[in-house]
Structure 1
Amino acid sequence: MDTPLDTLTEQFRRLPGIGVKTARKLAYYIVQQSPDRVDEFIAAIRNAKENMHFCSICFNLSSKDPCPICSDDGRDHSIICVVETPQDVQAIERSGDYHGLYHVLHGALSPLDGIGVDDLRIKELLQRLGNTDVKEVIIATDPDVEGEATALYLARLLKTAGIRVTRIARGLPMGGDIEYADEATLAGAVANRQEM
Structure 2
Amino acid sequence: MPRGRPPRRTRAQVVAAAIAVADAEGLAALTMRRLATELDAGVMSLYTYVRDKDDLVDQMVDHVSAFPPAERPPGLLDLLRWQRALMLRHPWLPEALPNRRLTGENTLRFLEHGLAALAPTGLPGGTKMEILALLTGFVASYAGHELAQARAGITDPERIAAHVAQLRAAVAGGAYPELARVLAEAAPAAPPSFDAIAQRMINGLLAG
Same fold, TM-score > 0.5, yes or no? no
Select the structure of larger CA radius of gyration. Answer: 2
Larger % of strand: which? Answer: 1
The two structures have a TM-score, normalised by structure 1, of 0.27
Larger % of helix: which? Answer: 2
Highest relative contact order (Cα 8 Å, sep 6+), 1 or 2?
A: 2
